[in-house]
Structure 1
């Protein structure tokens, strides 16, 4: 997609987010589970638009092969940003998802970098948060392991900014410990109904409170590194939030976005 100069001026700059279920925008039927991208607009002004293209169970490979990366690239205008994070599903043995950290994973991730740059956009590598796997001594398991190392190495080789939510999450989970981390992940509290799409005791996906803190860290990192302009930030020290601010989607909007943000020419 090619934008005329007047079209580029007519819309706000955009931050496109590509990733898996940790970032995906959730409908109301997933309460209290939330993707961190839902909370990102809480810390950014209306000078920029967040376009959440993350999809549940997506790996760097499947996201690209199903035309989701291509849709972003076709929609991008010069000066837009592409923030992408994978690894949680790349590790799975499913051949439609699996990649090897220092070979096929790196090759897939490089396509996001090069694609954004070809469209005069700004690629940003994000290292996603670690799962809640903590032993009785308070040590957090490094589940993502080599995928995080490979993503960091790619960023260094390609001179791409990195948002290290992974390292920050290790610090958070170790400081909180086995019990307090349950308030961050999807563990239901007294009186909360069990939704059909939610598993109580989910150690992979965060609830709204966790999503907010992840989004706060992402926004702060982008601002402190000078990746995005300083005037785009807001409310980084804010402490009180309402669930209604989280941008929960109705089922129809969720289905429409999932179906529509796919290029009909995924191999382009």
Structure 2
């Protein structure tokens, strides 16, 4: 009886500590939320309680002529990049894991070596390439760079999951007259759903929050993404120029950019955890 009480006490203490730890993670988001309602002169005053019915910062953000364009561009980049990446990586991972030819087996190690090369080492070459081909400052070029930069990692994920699928399924489909492509589309790819969930959940945060890529490859000021919009809001909002950073509007657009990702994670975290668990067990 005593050990049971001690166990309950330990559980309660651990639970309390977890709640306290959770508060440390929630507090920055709370500060960001409160800052969206503050006037500029009170932005760094933690004791100031703003008027939560004052939506002037939100009106300023939504009145920006480039905000909704930046939002649509970011959504477009995420959707198209993920679509291409899933198709290419799933096929590449399937072929690499199933083929016995030396060429395709060596591709597995090429994917591994590609992960070692830092992205920053290729920035100058990729910028010169885009300039030479006259496709710099375009969304398609940024999408191609995203796909090329992550296809190795995602192909390895698909290859690992494909190895866990019994070959007997493909042999049975072949006996029934299915081609290799049809077998992949109808049988293999649906079984790779955990890997696809992992790719979507992990990669979408990278594309949504990336500033470095748009800042370098979309630098003409005509094509906007959400992160570029936040960067530009530091000193220029709509047609108004600021000599110092307007932290109220900046906090507002940061909050708006965070909410879709937060909602997405809340609905997909169980799929990510399940995918990682399945991959660990089957690996």
TM-score (norm 1): 0.28
Query: Computing the radius of gyration over CA atoms, which structure comes out larger, 1 or 2?
Result: 2
TM-score (norm 2): 0.27
